[in-house]
Structure 1
Amino acid sequence: MINTIIFDLGAVLIDWNPHYMYRTIFPNEQEMKDFLANVCTSDWNEEQDAGRSLAEGTELLVQQFPQHEANIRAFYGRWTEMLGDAFEGTVQIFKELNESGKYKIYALTNWSAETFPRAQAKFDFLNWFDGIVVSGTEKMRKPAPEFYQILLDRYDVNPTESLFIDDNYRNILAAEKMGINCIHFTSPEQLRQELTAQNLL
């Protein structure tokens, strides 16, 4: 029986997208996409999520791509402009689960320890969680099994009695290997359907 719900945050509850900011810098959409695919890549950003400082990550990239210095520095210098709104459909589901009183609800997120406070300042619902485990603080990230284990140990969670919700299938597979029940998130509507089908909502 499920007694614990674990949410991912980005792309599940919170809309974060570098395109929002970089569209104000690049006049051409393809140029922007090329820059994000080859310079400020997802892999590079994930190293900051795993605990590398924003300053170190930025300087490493500036050394590699000095011709893009201004645009690289904009990534964290103007990071707040990448932060969109909450996905209200998912927030409503979170609210209903929380108010039911049936579950402990946690967040397990790949997020830089330096930028996460900016999200906390914007989204009140981040205060609803019984606990949040942030990769940048722990110096490790999904899909490392040790990162999931931190949450399980810290909050005394039985994996077989928990449900993990994440948009990244890589992270879902890692959780399933640890015996955690999972829903691969694609939309608030799909999440509501699956939770209802499992009699959790």
Structure 2
Amino acid sequence: MAVTRSLSTLIFDLGNVVITWDPRPALPEQYTGQDAEDLLTRLDFFTRNADHDAGKPFAEWVADLRSSGDAEGADALQHYVDHFDRSLVGLVRGTSQLIDDLKAAGVTLYALTNWSAETFHHAQAAAPALAQFDDILVSGEEGIAKPNPEIYTRALERWDLDVRTTGFLDDSEANIAGAESVGLTTHLFTNAVDARAWARDMTGAAGV
């Protein structure tokens, strides 16, 4: 039988948990369909982007592309950075309401996100529910990113949280594993309905 743990604090991931992120709409308009996919592959976009979640400035990546002779790629990447707000294509259905309901029920809420410090200011404009979090730890500001166990430990220490009463939600299995390695109770986010059921069961919060 599974052991039920009583949680008083929940830590949310943001990208594709609260806010839907897709880099394609922020690319120059000529990159659509397969052309956009080919560009992202050529740039090794998702692997390199993780470096910037961990604190590297985008200017370094742009400069690397130019020095390698890929001026077109450099221009496209700079366009992405300059139009990053277009990559935030909407709110994940139901999560903002879940956050509001948990806050109203007295659950303490924080966020821990892999996000470049250069572009994070767009998140607050895209998702008003972020104001419900007592604090948000941004990987790009810390110089370290999930799933490195150190970032979870840093969050727990900064917020003076008891790992035994703290839960963590994320859509990445790797990030979930990192959180579990420091003792956090976790939920792999797939949709807000399942997340709500888990949060209600684990916090016992009335009205969630």
Normalised to the residue count of structure 2, the TM-score between the two structures is: 0.89
Confirm or deny: 8 A CA contact 1:2 1:161 kept in the other structure: yes
Partner of 1:114 in structure 2?
118
Counterpart residue number, 2:58: 54
> Kindly, what percent of the aligned residue pairs are identical?
34
CA contact (8 A) 1:40 1:72 kept: no
* 2:132 pairs with 1:128: yes
**What secondary structure is seen at the aligned counterpart in 1 of 2:20?**
strand
Shift of 1:60: 1.7
Name the structure 1 match of 2:12: 7
Sort the Cα spacing of 1:57 and 1:69 in 2 relative to 1 into closer, same or farther, 3 A.
Answer: closer
* 1:31-59 per-position Cα deviation (integer Å, ceiling 9, x unaligned): 21121123051111111111111222221
Provide the C-alpha distance between the structure 2 equivalents of 1:59 and 1:87, rounded to a whole number of angstroms.
Answer: 34
Return the alpha-carbon distance in structure 2 between the equivalents of residues 121 and 192 of structure 1: 24
Q: Deviations over 1:65-124 (max 9, x none)?
A: 3342321221202211111122240111111000001x2110000111111112223322
CA distance, structure 1, for counterparts of residue 200 and residue 49 of structure 2: 35
The alignment status of 1:30 with 2:34, answered yes or no, reads yes
What is the aligned partner in structure 1 of residue 149 from structure 2? 145
Establish whether residue 100 from structure 1 lines up as the match of residue 92 from structure 2.
Answer: no
Offset of 1:188 from its aligned partner? Answer: 1.3
> Shift of residue 189 of structure 1?
1.9
Aligned partners of 1:36 and 1:168: how far apart in 2? 20
Partner of 2:90: 85
Task: Give the 3-state SS of the residue equivalent to 2:100 in structure 1.
Answer: helix
Structure-2 residue corresponding to 1:181: 185
The one-letter code of the counterpart of 1:139 is: G
Question: Could you say what secondary structure the match of 2:147 adopts?
Answer: coil
Aligned residues: 199
Superposed CA RMSD: 1.7
Instruction: Give the conservation status (yes or no) of the 8 Å contact 1:62–1:72.
Output: no
Q: Which runs of 5+ in 2 are unaligned?
A: 1-5
TM-score by length of 1: 0.91
Distance 1:117 1:70 in 2: 22
Question: What SS is found at the alignment partner of 1:84?
Answer: strand
State the distance in 1 between where 2:196 and 2:157 align. 28
Structure 1: how far apart are the matches of 2:9 and 2:199?
13
Q: In structure 2, how many angstroms separate the alpha carbons of the residues matched to 1:92 and 1:174?
A: 27
Structure 1 spans left out of the alignment, 5+ residues: none
CA offset digits 1:153-195 (Å, max 9, x no partner):
0111111211100001100011111110000001112212333
